[in-house]
Structure 1
């Protein structure tokens, strides 16, 4: 892991000092502008001082980097981070993000790392080495397993992701992929995972998010739709992938490479990916 960081410019004893303090102050103000107050813990400050402004390669196809700089990528992220902090019963502070999805790397006051991705929130580990290994390998646990209320099973809580085996046929595809083809990080859905069947005459399955964040297909009769049953409804369908970036980012709307997991799913559904 040190070798990976070294390629990005890290070295033992690195400390960017006042530049880290400026970056922390800037992100605190940006979160505050959206009604969320955050405060860096000693663990967050130490990580930022040592790693701020490093740009480390996560993957090359499609291109994805980890930027270890505190940042608010999307304005809606501020509220999501605040909600996650409340569910964890911990103070979270952003210490980085990835360039492919704009997902946020967070650390709490005890040095635990979390990853706020558009598919959900994940626990990376305690300490930077465990966390970064999880980030690189995509072997992440659901953050829900670490929610404060998880110690009180008799209390109501949100639908668990572990229930996905009974609700999402898409998971069957992605979970069967070899890790070399499964995209980092795919677990439940992509930001733009909605596709419409081309057939206007036959009853078609509808794909929608469940309360636990999974995608499930429901037939017109109300039952579940298997992928094999859904495929004929997508005959002749095509998909265009676009990057979603923050306001003012010149890459917003540019063509994007479909991730490996979605490619496998699209193959099963017979949907052509076009570049326009």
Structure 2
């Protein structure tokens, strides 16, 4: 994701939450990805880290992106956090979308998993189903800040 494509509002919000242009958490990102892959293998539903997810984790990994007006709501950019059986749920969503998905974090209020696909689209796996968050990081962050309703991921099934 090109930082030049960030809106000023998104850029300012990211900076306020610890991000900076050129940020890369390096080996720590690789370790988080490795932990997530190993856990999915343990669950019997291996997940493949797509290049877009690897880039996002390197760039935004370990940030706690707090919503500026909605108390207690954040996106925690840690792909290693999940729950038992989540790899199967991710595989089901992946099957409908016909694309690889990989976790990049979770939302703090109900611990739904934030995922990205091969095209860098963002999705939310919530206990009520899958939802579309945006066409890329900039769009997803902007929609999060504005509070745009999230369409069902099924609207994007192939």
CA contact (8 A) 1:64 1:99 kept: yes
Worse-superposed segment, 52-61 or 75-84: 52-61
Q: CA RMSD in A?
A: 1.5
Name the structure where helix makes up a greater proportion of residues.
2
Task: State the alpha-carbon separation in 2 of the partners of residues 62 and 16 from structure 1.
Answer: 27
Unaligned runs of 5+ in 1: 149-276
Counterpart for residue 27 of structure 2: 18
Distance of aligned partners of 1:59 and 1:7 in 2 relative to their CA distance in 1, 3 Å threshold: closer
Partner of 1:9: 18
Asked if 1:67 corresponds to 2:79, the answer is no
Contact preservation (8 Å) 2:81, 2:105: no
Q: Displaced runs of 4+ in structure 1, greater than 3 A?
A: 59-62
Question: 2:50 aligned with 1:41, yes or no?
Answer: yes
Match of 1:184 in 2: none
Distance 1:7 1:31 in 2: 33
Please identify the structure whose Cα radius of gyration is greater. Answer: 1
Contact 1:31–1:72 (8 Å) recurs in 2: no
Q: Partner residue of 1:141?
A: 151
- Is the contact made by 1:55 and 1:67 (CA closer than 8 Å) also made in structure 2? yes
Unaligned runs of 5+ residues in structure 2 are 1-9
Flag the structure with more relative contact order, 1 or 2, with Cα contacts below 8 A and sequence separation at least 6. Answer: 2
SS at match of 2:36: helix
Scaled by the length of structure 2, the TM-score of the pair is: 0.87
* CA deviation string 1:47-96 (max 9, x = no partner): 11000000111266651221111134221222111100011100000001
In 2 relative to 1, CA 32–138 (structure 1 residues): closer, same or farther, beyond 3 Å?
A: farther
